[in-house]
Amino acid sequence: MYKFAKSVLVAAAILLTGCSSLNPFASKAPRNVPAPLVEFKQTMVLRTVWSASVGQSEDYVFSPALVGDKLYVASADGTIASVDALSGKTLWRINAGVGLTAGVGSDGTSVVVAGADGVILSFDAANGKSLWKSQASSEVLSSPAVGRGMVVVRSLDNRLVGLDAETGARRWFLQRTAPALTLRAAPGIVIAEGNAYVALPAGRLLAVSLLNGAVRWEAAIAEPRGATELERVVDVSGTPVMTGRDICATTYQGRIACADITNGTLRWARELSAEVGAGIDERFVFAADERGNLLAFTRDSGASQWRNTALSWRRLSAPVSFGRAVVVGDREGYIHFLSREEGSMIARVATDGSAIKSTPVVSGSSLIVQTQAGKLLALTAN
């Protein structure tokens, strides 16, 4: 997701601004040539179940929200839609009336997105009717998280706010000190067990009570290190993933680590620099590092299972486990399927040629992908 320019002039300019964020989309030309796609014998047969369209994402990342058999999607021009995940039929489609920067969060009752200048908008999940509007303290790039009657929002100034899901009224807020430099990115939030698990800059992962915003625990996924502020950027990347008692996250210029969800104690950690979040299933934790290498670790101990380098510099999405495969999208709109046990290539599907930045979504036997150009595609394995 990120292009990280490290020239002395850029660093000096950023440092002069004090607490700043680095724009990962600033550089147009790739510094490293993406690996060419090699031919291989496809051993996983896929077919398209349905396709649909939503507006372009532009420089933002919009992650589809799946609740039951309903998929909620959004785009930068303000389009929000509800789609039947089984058939691809559009159930309703509206325009928020403002450009959007983040979404989608939903609990099946409401659909919440973030708009220009930090406006938070909530809509009825059944029909798209506007419910309420709230204002964050600064721009919002992370999808709002919705659950247990609350909406949790993180803005770029590192402030967390808990809003009542029915009314939008503020119930609590938590301000965290931001490092001198941060990535202009979208670290995610997951709601479970009465807590919001929040990815933050400086390598931190927080468990925050939904009831009152109290910090239940704080885990250091990675520690800043290095002689310069640029070298010390270790922001948590993407959205934490969890299953059972494990919650796992990746950082830029830091580590991948899994912690105990009850108290934040690290179970294991490995050196890694990633620009997207991890994937997880009952046996493995998957990561796509900043160089485009895809790696698998055993979930219980973090032992290396395999490493595939065939997709280097293709700017991969966060991986997701799908049947016997682990799946990633890339900057050219290809969806790659690798053996989850061995890491070998088993299938590849082309989409519309635009980047796939959001994490693919698994819905039953289907895999659903949203491209930056706005194509929605549902695939299934025969």
Q: What is the DSSP letter of 170?
A: E
Looking at residue 282, its amino acid is E
Is residue 179 very low, low, confident or very high in pLDDT (cuts 50, 70, 90)?
confident
Q: Which of 68-82, 167-181, 241-255, 321-335 has the lowest mean pLDDT?
A: 167-181
Residue reference for tokens 């900043």: 290
For 59, other C-beta atoms within 10 Å of its C-beta total: 15
Return the closest-CA partner of residue 277 out of 197, 216, 353. Answer: 197
Is the pLDDT reported for residue 172 higher than 70? yes
pLDDT computed for residue 10 by the predictor: 35
Where do runs of H (alpha helix) occur along the chain?
Answer: 8-16
Cα separation, 179 vs 234, whole angstroms: 10
Q: Which residues, in sequence order, are CB contacts of 113 under 8 Å at separation 6+? A: 74, 80, 96, 100, 102, 103, 104, 105, 120, 121, 123, 144
Looking at residue 310, its amino acid is A
Cα separation, 18 vs 146, whole angstroms: 33
User: Pick the residue with more confidence: 6 or 106?
Assistant: 106
pLDDT computed for residue 26 by the predictor: 47
Q: What is the pLDDT of residues 6-63, one digit of tens each?
A: 333 333 333 333 445 566 444 444 578 999 999 999 999 999 999 999 999 999 999 9
Which H/E stretch holds residue 379?
strand 375-381
Q: Which of 58-72, 179-193, 286-300, 310-324 has the lowest mean pLDDT?
A: 179-193
Is the pLDDT reported for residue 258 higher than 90? yes
Looking at residue 118, its amino acid is G
Cα separation, 247 vs 368, whole angstroms: 23
Q: What are phi and psi of 74, to 5 degrees?
A: -150, 170
Q: Which CATH class is domain 8-381?
A: mainly beta
Return the closest-CA partner of residue 120 out of 58, 289, 283, 105. Answer: 105
Is the pLDDT reported for residue 126 higher than 60? yes
Is the pLDDT reported for residue 91 higher than 70? yes
Return the closest-CA partner of residue 295 out of 303, 307, 285, 305. Answer: 307
- 8 Å CB contact between 186 and 141: yes
Where do runs of H (alpha helix) occur along 233-338?
Answer: none
* Half-sphere exposure at residue 226, Cβ-oriented, CA atoms within 13 angstroms: 13
Cα separation, 101 vs 111, whole angstroms: 15
pLDDT computed for residue 178 by the predictor: 79
What's the whole-number average pLDDT of the chain?
A: 92
For 20, the token pair is: 């700043």
Cα separation, 131 vs 247, whole angstroms: 32
pLDDT computed for residue 20 by the predictor: 55
Domain ranges for the chain, please list them.
8-381
Is residue 291 very low, low, confident or very high in pLDDT (cuts 50, 70, 90)?
very high
